[in-house]
């Protein structure tokens, strides 16, 4: 198992939501994770210069979205587009499952952010009025100047065995990438249903951060108010590969970082 992942170049890399790829096209697994000293409480210590915002930032994600207090962005002011592709690369990064696809963009705040990738978390990272969800999907956009924006979808279990069709095609060959550092190809991906979903519901918005190292801030988040559906079989299959990759809920935006607050308490005599 170990030699297998080494073969697939599981080289530690202090990277972000937007992962670098090895020159030979193999996947680099990430050094951070969600367990023990690789986990979110210790991300800062993995690289105190690169990951400074993880412990000191005051605008960190994910958050509990309080619907009465949240900002909402009119969906008509956003333009989320992704073109249909015959297939896309689907990678197991150890810290998550990611589809690398650049055939899309988001126009927000009068700026065009090209799509970089989308990936999944289980359980959800955001809460809504304290409620969490079984999964969450993040579409990450990044400009050449490295400005990042994220569109997020919470994912709820369907009581009718229904799965958002796009996900059937994404997860079609999930079994191939059970090991970190491996990748496969998705089936044909048609995003029109997903985009229609996004365009026909509300959008919670706030300025937060990457939820993985280096936790960079000034990231506008656009979270669809209506969760997507996933069926129980698919949820279990994804969970068995994705394991657990959810950062703990951060303080309300603008409030001191919870790690700073606790560190002060811990060192008090």
Contact footprint for ligand NAG (CB under 6 A)? 14, 31, 33, 35-38, 47, 49-50, 71, 79, 81, 83, 85, 102-103, 105, 109-110, 205-207, 220
Which segment (61-69, 99-107, 132-140, 197-205) binds Zn ion by CB under 5 A? Answer: 132-140
The span from the CA of 137 to the CA of 99, in Å, is: 11
Q: Does 138 bind Zn ion (CB under 5 A)?
A: yes
- Whichever of 141 and 206 has its CB closer to ligand NAG, that residue is 206
- In the complex, minimum distance from the CB of residue 120 to Zn ion, in angstroms, rounded to a whole number: 8
Query: 173 — alpha (psi -120 to 50), left (phi > 0) or beta?
Result: alpha
The span from the CA of 141 to the CA of 163, in Å, is: 25
Q: Does 126 bind Zn ion (CB under 5 A)?
A: no
Q: What are phi and psi of 70, to 5 degrees?
A: -70, 150
Strand partners, 154: 136
The span from the CA of 151 to the CA of 172, in Å, is: 23
Take residue 128 and report the two structure tokens written for it.
């809504």
- In the complex, minimum distance from the CB of residue 99 to Zn ion, in angstroms, rounded to a whole number: 12
Residue 245 interacts with, from ligand NAG, Zn ion, none (CB under 5-8 Å by kind): none
- In the complex, minimum distance from the CB of residue 123 to ligand NAG, in angstroms, rounded to a whole number: 17
- In the complex, minimum distance from the CB of residue 17 to Zn ion, in angstroms, rounded to a whole number: 6
3-state SS assignment for residue 135: strand
- Whichever of 24 and 36 has its CB closer to ligand NAG, that residue is 36
Task: Select the residue whose beta carbon is closest to Zn ion and give its number.
Answer: 138
- In the complex, minimum distance from the CB of residue 265 to ligand NAG, in angstroms, rounded to a whole number: 25
Residue 175 interacts with, from ligand NAG, Zn ion, none (CB under 5-8 Å by kind): none
- Alpha-helix residue ranges (DSSP H) falling in the chain: 2-7, 43-46, 52-56, 165-170, 192-199, 232-242, 258-267
Residue 123 interacts with, from Zn ion, ligand NAG, none (CB under 5-8 Å by kind): none
Whether 214 contacts 14, CB under 8 Å? yes
Residues that bind Zn ion (CB under 5 A): 138
């Amino acid at each position: 198992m170990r030699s297998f992942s080494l073969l697939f170049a599981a080289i530690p890399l202090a990277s972000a939501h937007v992962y670098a790829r090895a020159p030979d096209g193999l996947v680099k697994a990430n050094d951070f994770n969600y367990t023990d000293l690789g986990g979110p409480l210790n991300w800062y210590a993995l690289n105190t210069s690169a990951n400074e915002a993880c412990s000191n930032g005051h605008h960190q994600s994910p958050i509990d979205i309080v619907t009465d207090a949240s900002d909402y962005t009119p969906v008509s002011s956003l333009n989320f587009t992704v073109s249909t592709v015959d297939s896309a690369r689907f990678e197991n990064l150890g810290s998550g499952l990611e589809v690398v696809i650049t055939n899309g963009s988001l126009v927000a705040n009068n700026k065009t952010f090209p799509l970089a990738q989308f990936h999944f978390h289980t359980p959800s990272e955001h809460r809504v009025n304290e409620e969490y969800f079984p999964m969450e999907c993040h579409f990450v956009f990044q400009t050449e100047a490295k400005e990042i924006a994220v569109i997020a979808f919470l994912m709820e279990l369907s009581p009718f065995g229904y799965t958002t069709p796009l996900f059937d095609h994404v997860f079609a060959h999930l079994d191939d990438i059970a090991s970190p550092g491996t990748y496969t190809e998705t089936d044909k991906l048609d995003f029109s249903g997903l985009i229609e979903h996004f365009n026909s519901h509300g959008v919670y918005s706030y300025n937060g951060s990457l939820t993985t190292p280096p936790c960079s801030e000034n990231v506008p988040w656009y979270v669809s108010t209506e969760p997507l559906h996933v069926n129980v079989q698919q949820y279990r299959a994804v969970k068995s590969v994705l394991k657990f990759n959810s950062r703990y809920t951060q303080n309300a935006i603008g409030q001191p970082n919870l790690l700073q607050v606790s560190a002060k308490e811990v060192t008090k005599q």
